[in-house]
Structure 1
Amino acid sequence: MIRAIVFDFDGLILDTEEPVYRSWLEVYEAHGEELPFERWIQTVGSTTTGFHPQHHLEERLGRPLPKDVLDRRLGRRTEMILANAVLPGVVQHLDAARERGLELGVASSSTQEWVRGHLARLGILDRFRCVRCRDDVAHAKPEPDLYLAVLDCLGVLATEAIAIEDSPNGVAAAKRAGMRCVAVPNSITARLDMSQADLVLNSLAEVSMAELLERVSASA
């Protein structure tokens, strides 16, 4: 029996991934350089340890980026993120989960400050009993640490929880933790392989919680 739903944050609850990518793309284009998407995508749902856009561009240019360029990039990122609302279907699923008595958690490769700050701003932080982020564990996604930490916090088994993700790194983390996983790709991850997921949706808004649970159970 499913007792808990664990959400990713970036790109699933709030579209932060497109603004982060676009803000760096603008910097690269302004300097006549190409941002390699195939390397960028490795960081989605994980961290920038494998590819750091600032360091990569500075290596290409042979000089550090000025502080004003970096500050403008952060300003553009923030501007675009603040213009976005909670992604379609998220609030409806949070409401439905509460009605069913399901526990709710967040497992994110971002920081606690980032995730809790945005969840609070969006008015949904109190919906989640447990929020675990990269500063809470030894390894971010695609390792299972974040999901294992949330499962422990919620007091449920991996077989009693469903993860909802938007990236291959996130799906891999959930599966390594022994969970079933629903993938909901966004504009950045739509072209990537989500075949590890038990169910792939175009949007959370296209199914009810009852249908999601039924379809995931049927795929087991």
Structure 2
Amino acid sequence: MPKAAIFDLDGTLLDSVDLHAMAWHEAMVKFGHDVSLEQVRSQIGKGGDKLIPAFLSDDERSDHGKELDAWRGERFKAQYLPMVQPFSAVPNLLQRAREAGLRVATASSAKKDELQKYLDIAGIAKLVDVSVSSEDVDESKPEPDVFEAVLKKLAIDGGSAIAIGDSPYDAQAASKVRIRTIGVLCGGFKEEELRAAGCAEIFHAPAALLTQFERSILSAPRGR
């Protein structure tokens, strides 16, 4: 049986992907970059250390990359964070995982100062055993650092955990440390994108995973 469930936050437990995309888009435009909202949205799930290089050259990053990232962060907190809402049944899903004997963790590309607010918004602060943010590691998803940090805190190996995420970057990062991933479609990525990235199962949203919990790899014997 799995020993832990490791949840992503943005787009998985929280309906926040479009809000992040808008903040990033505004930051790109403010600093003179012709990047569309759709282009930015396709990168949500990565931390700023991976998202910014997708659009800025080395010279541009050296010149104003940190300022762009800082402006984006302040813009998100001031304008968009108050609009973030959890998807339905999120606390119920985490409680069900705990009842199944799983330890519960979050592995997010969010910054540390956003993380506690996210846990409070989702109503899960008391249900999470371990949390890791992008600032606890050297590189964000799709590198595996956040998952490595969670596994270390939980003192388990990757084969004993299941990740739950909405983006291909979650699955790519998790697979690098032998963690299987359940994909959810509520973050806006297509099912074929999640399966191509390595997701073992796909559900529409946390509520759907909750209703089919017993049939998922969260409760299945190892080797299913």
Aligned-pair distance for 1:118? 2.0
Query: What letter is aligned with 2:18?
Result: E
Distance 1:75 1:148, change over 3 A: closer
Partner-residue secondary structure (3-state), 1:88: coil
Aligned pairs (5 A) from 1:132-171: 132-171=132-171
Matched, 1:211 2:192: no
Q: TM-score w.r.t. structure 1 length?
A: 0.77
Aligned-pair distance for 1:126? 2.0
Q: Structure 1, residues 77-98: CA drift from partner, whole Å, max 9, x if none?
A: 6544423432123222111112
Give distance in 2, aligned partners of 1:71 and 1:167: 24
Give distance in 2, aligned partners of 1:180 and 1:138: 22
Gaps (5+ residues) in structure 1?
57-63
Partner-residue secondary structure (3-state), 1:193: helix
Instruction: Give the match for residue 10 of structure 1.
Output: 10
Q: Structure 1, residues 50-88: CA drift from partner, whole Å, max 9, x if none?
A: 4439x86xxxxxxx9xx9xx9899557654442343212
What do you get for the CA RMSD once the two structures are aligned? 3.5
Query: What letter is aligned with 2:119?
Result: L
Structure with greater helix percent: 2
Give distance in 2, aligned partners of 1:189 and 1:204: 15
Aligned-pair distance for 1:210? 1.6
Aligned residues: 210
Aligned-pair distance for 1:36? 3.0
Give distance in 2, aligned partners of 1:172 and 1:72: 25
Q: Structure 1, residues 179-210: CA drift from partner, whole Å, max 9, x if none?
A: 11001133542377111100111112123322
Deviates most, 123-132 or 78-87? 78-87
Indicate the percent of aligned positions where both proteins have the same amino acid.
24
Q: TM-score w.r.t. structure 2 length?
A: 0.76
Give distance in 2, aligned partners of 1:73 and 1:179: 30
Q: Structure 1, residues 154-184: CA drift from partner, whole Å, max 9, x if none?
A: 1222111100011111110011110110011
